[in-house]
């Protein structure tokens, strides 16, 4: 078990290496090998689901070895619940993407699969790195295969899109690197007295507020481009539209999560003061993104571009939930990242299916497909509903948590953000009507074959997950407890104050607890926050939060619309830099 993460990390790379020695003419052998390695990559990552301990607040499956000792960079891997979920999403979507390419790719098959597998390693590496330099290495490694995937196997304006994707993200990551170096030079490991790239240590260090601001902005540029947030989003529709299906799937399901992962993993816990200060800016950009993405999606005539813009809208919602800076919002944000991977990934796969048959993405070329492709129409329907957040499917879980989380911060923001659910339904249903309903008017669509077995298999796991998360999200949400607590301890410590002092707030204060409250308010619930990163929360912090009994006679809890509670800013200040600079 000790090297599980390395095993997961390098399985795809080994696959790529093996493929190099296969004759490029034997295309089917190449396909089999790639699929086997991708499937193996998924299987070896499965133990993470079972052996990850959601009560243990420390990093798990840790591996550490010296990498570049002279600058304090280590080969340091480890995961928490958040990383586990994204990692499993990556390995699963990677396997699905590779399976979906079987007949779609007919040229340069060998190179294609090699790039996909290298990409896989890059993404996994970014999620498991606990060393900032290592993270940055993997972050950059991802760009190259994606660039070639779009540039070689893409469509129409593939070169333009590939270069745009590459340069745009590269520009962001260069600035991000400056931020990383700024942190690096402003912190020394108290034990060794040397500079370090250790993420875990950065997360517990209170950096100088003005430094936090600059570094936050630097990180923001890097991550916001990747997410992508509103004004930085235009590379995405181009990249998605011109990428091959598997590329779009990976891009939507995993690559975009790099940005949000970066925010939650780095910006929030390392720069809590700046994070709190930038909440209004990010919330504004996110709300614009939600509405703007949805409206622009409505205007699209290109099927894939429509899904790409819906992605902009959904990722803006993810950002909004994250910057609610409360456990509900952040959990919703993370679970919505998974959901977005599932539903948008599936939507791109679906476009890919008909693109492979008809070689066009124009919506007007289609219509009435339910008649000839009923299975396809049914799967599309489920995934559309997941995407527009129908309750009892996965999308709703994230949407609800995010909106409830942000509602606590500002009712106005929540009201605007919730318009996304109306607009989302509008553009998706309209798309569905234009493609699936009506009579078949284009003779080219009359004999389209329905999904074959392999294609159905690419969707089955996604549908199962969509229903599972929609009905019983507890296993997913519980795995996030410690990760979220780690972030909350930094950005909104008042929550842990409450929990650390005993039981969740409503225990024992509701006079008539109803019968269904079987889940005890026992110590099990509060176990993780109590043992959360010790020393990060100053014990003497004033308790800002008072408890009141809910039905307190005649005094209603005062209703103050629009008055958001700014989180206390006392969190990071007391822990002064130990090593000095």
Partner 1 sequence: MDLIWLIPLLPGLGAAVNGIFGIRYFSKRTAGVLACTTMAIALGVSLTAFVQLLGLSPEARVHDVVLFDWFPRTALEMAGGRIGSLHIPWAFRLDPLSSMMILIVTGIGFLIHVYSIGYMHDEPRGGVARYFAYLNLFCFFMLTLVLGANYLVMFVGWEGVGLCSYLLIGYWYEKKSAADAGKKAFIANRVGDWGFLLGVFLIYFTFGSFDFREVANAAATLPVETAQFGTLSLITLLLFVGATGKSAQIPLYVWLPDAMEGPTPVSALIHAATMVTAGVYMVGRNAVLFTHAPMTMEIVAIVGVLTAVMAASIGLVQTDIKRVLAYSTVSQLGYMFVAMGVGAFAAGAFHLMTHAFFKALLFLCSGAVIHGMAGEQNILKMGGLKKYMPVTYATMMIGTLAIAGIPPFSGFFSKDEILLQAFLKNKFVYGMAAFAALMTAFYMFRLMSLTFFGSYRGAAWETAGHHGADAGHGGHGAWHGPHEAPKSMMFALVVLAVGAVLAGLVGIPTAIGGGNAIEHFLAPSFEASHSAITAGGTGYAGTEAGATTHPGAATHAEPATAPVAAASVPAEGGAEISKAFELGLMAFSVLIGIIGIAVAYRFYVRRPEIAARLEQRLAGPHRVLTNKYYVDELYDATVIKGTMASANGLWAFDRRVVDGAVNGSGWMTIFSSWFSGIMDKYVVDGLVNLVGSVLQESSFVFRRLQTGLIQNYALLMLFGVFAFVSIYLLVVRSL
Applying the rule CB under 8 A, the residues between 385 and 424 that interact with partner 1 are 385, 390-392, 396-397, 400-401, 403-405, 407-408, 411, 414-415, 418-419, 421-423
Asked whether position 539 contacts partner 1 by CB under 8 A, the answer is no
How many residues bind to partner 1 according to rule CB under 8 A? 93
Asked whether position 530 contacts partner 1 by CB under 8 A, the answer is no
Of 565, 546, 400, 547, the residue nearest 492 (C-alpha):
565
Scanning 32-40, 85-93, 127-135, 428-436 for contacts with partner 1 by CB under 8 A, the matching segment is 428-436
User: From the CB of 385, what's the least distance to partner 1, in Å?
Assistant: 7
Asked whether position 439 contacts partner 1 by CB under 8 A, the answer is yes
DSSP 8-state class, residue 302? B
Is residue 204 a contact partner of residue 536, using CB atoms and an 8 Å limit?
yes
Asked whether position 473 contacts partner 1 by CB under 8 A, the answer is yes
Q: Based on CB atoms, which residue is closest to partner 1, 550 or 578?
A: 550
Asked whether position 468 contacts partner 1 by CB under 8 A, the answer is no
Cα three-residue angle 457-12-81, rounded to 5 degrees = 80
Tokens linked to 435: 């493609």
Cα three-residue angle 158-159-165, rounded to 5 degrees = 85
Q: Which residues contact 163 (CB under 8 A, 6 or more apart)?
A: 147, 151
Asked whether position 328 contacts partner 1 by CB under 8 A, the answer is yes
Asked whether position 445 contacts partner 1 by CB under 8 A, the answer is no
Measured from the Cβ of residue 518, the count of other Cβ atoms closer than 10 Å reads 5
CA distance 273 to 255: 27
CA distance 395 to 388: 7
Helix, strand, coil % (nearest 5) of the chain?
A: 65, 5, 30
Cα three-residue angle 27-32-34, rounded to 5 degrees = 95
Is residue 19 a contact partner of residue 114, using CB atoms and an 8 Å limit?
yes
Among 443, 535, 554, 580, binds partner 1 (CB under 8 A): 554
Among 280, 438, 461, 574, binds partner 1 (CB under 8 A): 438
Of 375, 287, 300, 384, the residue nearest 344 (C-alpha):
384
Backbone angles phi, psi at 38, to 5 degrees: -65, -40
Q: Based on CB atoms, which residue is closest to partner 1, 139 or 168?
A: 168
Q: Which residues contact 284 (CB under 8 A, 6 or more apart)?
A: none
Asked whether position 281 contacts partner 1 by CB under 8 A, the answer is no
Asked whether position 580 contacts partner 1 by CB under 8 A, the answer is no
Cis peptide before 531 (omega within 30 of 0): no
Among 185, 190, 374, 502, binds partner 1 (CB under 8 A): 374
Asked whether position 456 contacts partner 1 by CB under 8 A, the answer is no
Q: Based on CB atoms, which residue is closest to partner 1, 156 or 506?
A: 506
Scanning 14-22, 215-223, 259-267, 436-444 for contacts with partner 1 by CB under 8 A, the matching segment is 436-444
CA distance 179 to 373: 51
CA distance 381 to 526: 40
Asked whether position 557 contacts partner 1 by CB under 8 A, the answer is yes
Among 65, 519, 535, 576, binds partner 1 (CB under 8 A): 519
Q: Based on CB atoms, which residue is closest to partner 1, 518 or 539?
A: 518
β-pair partners for 74 = 66
- For residue 443, with 0-12 CB atoms within 10 Å meaning exposed, 13-18 middle and 19 or more buried, which class applies? exposed
Among 103, 191, 210, 234, binds partner 1 (CB under 8 A): 234
Scanning 74-82, 138-146, 531-539, 545-553 for contacts with partner 1 by CB under 8 A, the matching segment is 545-553
Asked whether position 477 contacts partner 1 by CB under 8 A, the answer is yes
Scanning 18-26, 151-159, 229-237, 262-270 for contacts with partner 1 by CB under 8 A, the matching segment is 229-237
Backbone angles phi, psi at 525, to 5 degrees: -70, -40
User: From the CB of 433, what's the least distance to partner 1, in Å?
Assistant: 5
Asked whether position 570 contacts partner 1 by CB under 8 A, the answer is no
Among 235, 266, 376, 380, binds partner 1 (CB under 8 A): 235
Of 23, 22, 78, the residue nearest 52 (C-alpha):
78
Q: Within 388-522, where are the H helices?
A: 394-409, 411-436, 453-471, 474-479, 481-491, 494-500
How many angstroms separate the Cα of 34 from the Cα of each of 26, 96, 101, 224?
A: 13, 11, 10, 32
Q: Based on CB atoms, which residue is closest to partner 1, 190 or 523?
A: 523
Applying the rule CB under 8 A, the residues between 143 and 172 that interact with partner 1 are 164, 167-168
User: From the CB of 543, what's the least distance to partner 1, in Å?
Assistant: 10
Among 56, 104, 371, 575, binds partner 1 (CB under 8 A): 371
Scanning 25-33, 95-103, 132-140, 538-546 for contacts with partner 1 by CB under 8 A, the matching segment is 538-546
Among 263, 292, 323, 355, binds partner 1 (CB under 8 A): 292
How many angstroms separate the Cα of 184 from the Cα of each of 72, 177, 194, 486?
A: 10, 10, 10, 21
Asked whether position 547 contacts partner 1 by CB under 8 A, the answer is yes
Asked whether position 296 contacts partner 1 by CB under 8 A, the answer is yes
Asked whether position 433 contacts partner 1 by CB under 8 A, the answer is yes
User: From the CB of 407, what's the least distance to partner 1, in Å?
Assistant: 4
Measured from the Cβ of residue 43, the count of other Cβ atoms closer than 10 Å reads 13
Quick note: the x/- pattern for partner 1 over 24-63, rule CB under 8 A, is ----------------------------------------
Q: Based on CB atoms, which residue is closest to partner 1, 22 or 397?
A: 397
Asked whether position 525 contacts partner 1 by CB under 8 A, the answer is yes
User: From the CB of 117, what's the least distance to partner 1, in Å?
Assistant: 31
Q: Based on CB atoms, which residue is closest to partner 1, 218 or 335?
A: 335
Asked whether position 479 contacts partner 1 by CB under 8 A, the answer is no
Q: Which residues contact 551 (CB under 8 A, 6 or more apart)?
A: 511
Of 37, 32, 20, 40, the residue nearest 110 (C-alpha):
20
Asked whether position 506 contacts partner 1 by CB under 8 A, the answer is yes
């Amino acid at each position: 078990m000790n090297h599980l993460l390395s095993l997961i990390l390098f399985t795809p790379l080994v696959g790529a290496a093996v493929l190099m020695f296969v004759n490029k003419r034997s295309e089917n052998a190449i396909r089999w090998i790639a699929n086997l390695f991708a499937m193996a990559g998924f299987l070896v990552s499965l133990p993470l689901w079972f052996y990850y301990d959601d009560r243990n607040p420390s990093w798990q499956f840790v591996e550490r070895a010296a990498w570049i000792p002279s600058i304090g960079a280590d080969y340091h891997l480890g995961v928490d619940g958040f990383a586990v979920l994204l990692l499993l999403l990556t390995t699963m979507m990677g396997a699905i993407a590779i399976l979906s390419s079987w007949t779609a790719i007919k040229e340069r098959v060998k190179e294609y699969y090699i790039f996909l597998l290298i990409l896989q390693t890059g993404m996994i590496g970014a999620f498991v790195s606990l060393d900032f330099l290592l993270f940055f290495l993997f972050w950059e490694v991802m760009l190259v295969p994606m660039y070639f995937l779009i540039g070689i196997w893409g469509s129409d304006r593939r070169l333009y899109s590939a270069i745009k994707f590459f340069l745009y993200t590269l520009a962001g990551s260069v600035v991000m690197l400056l931020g990383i170096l700024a942190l690096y030079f402003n912190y020394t490991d108290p034990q060794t007295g040397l500079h370090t790239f250790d993420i875990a240590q950065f997360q517990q260090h209170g950096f100088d507020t003005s430094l936090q601001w600059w570094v936050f902005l630097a990180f923001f540029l890097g991550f916001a481009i990747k997410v992508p947030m509103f004004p930085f989003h235009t590379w995405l529709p181009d990249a998605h539209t011109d990428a091959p299906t598997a590329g779009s799937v990976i891009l939507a399901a995993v690559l975009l999560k790099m940005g949000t992962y970066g925010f939650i993993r780095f910006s929030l816990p390392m720069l809590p003061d700046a994070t709190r200060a930038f909440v209004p800016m990010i919330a504004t950009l996110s709300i614009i993104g939600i509405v703007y993405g949805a409206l622009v999606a409505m205007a699209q005539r290109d099927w894939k571009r429509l899904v790409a813009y819906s992605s902009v809208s959904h990722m803006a919602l993810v950002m909004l939930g994250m910057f609610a800076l409360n456990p509900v919002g952040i959990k919703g944000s993370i679970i919505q990242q998974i959901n977005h991977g599932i539903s948008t990934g599936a939507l791109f796969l679906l476009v890919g299916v008909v693109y492979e048959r008809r070689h066009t993405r124009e919506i007007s070329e289609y219509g009435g497909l339910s008649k000839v492709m009923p299975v396809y129409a049914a799967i599309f329907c489920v995934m559309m509903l997941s995407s527009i957040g129908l309750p009892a499917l996965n999308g709703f879980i994230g949407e609800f948590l995010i909106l409830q989380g942000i509602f606590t911060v500002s009712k106005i923001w929540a009201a605007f953000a919730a318009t996304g659910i109306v607009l989302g339904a509008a553009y998706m249903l309209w798309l569905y009507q234009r493609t699936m309903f009506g009579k078949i008017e284009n003779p080219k669509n009359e004999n389209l074959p329905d999904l074959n077995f392999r294609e159905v298999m690419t969707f089955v796991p996604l549908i199962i997950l969509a229903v599972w998360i929609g009905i019983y999200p507890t296993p997913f949400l519980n795995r996030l407890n410690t990760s979220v607590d780690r972030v909350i301890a930094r950005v909104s410590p008042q929550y842990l104050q409450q929990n650390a002092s005993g039981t969740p707030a409503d225990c024992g204060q509701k006079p008539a607890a109803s019968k269904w409250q079987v889940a005890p308010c026992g110590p099990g619930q509060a176990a993780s926050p109590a043992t959360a990163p010790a020393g990060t929360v100053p014990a003497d912090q004033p308790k800002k939060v008072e408890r009141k009994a809910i039905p307190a006679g005649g005094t209603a809890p005062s209703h103050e619309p629009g008055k958001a509670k700014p989180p206390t800013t006392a969190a990071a200040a007391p822990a002064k830099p130990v090593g000095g600079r």
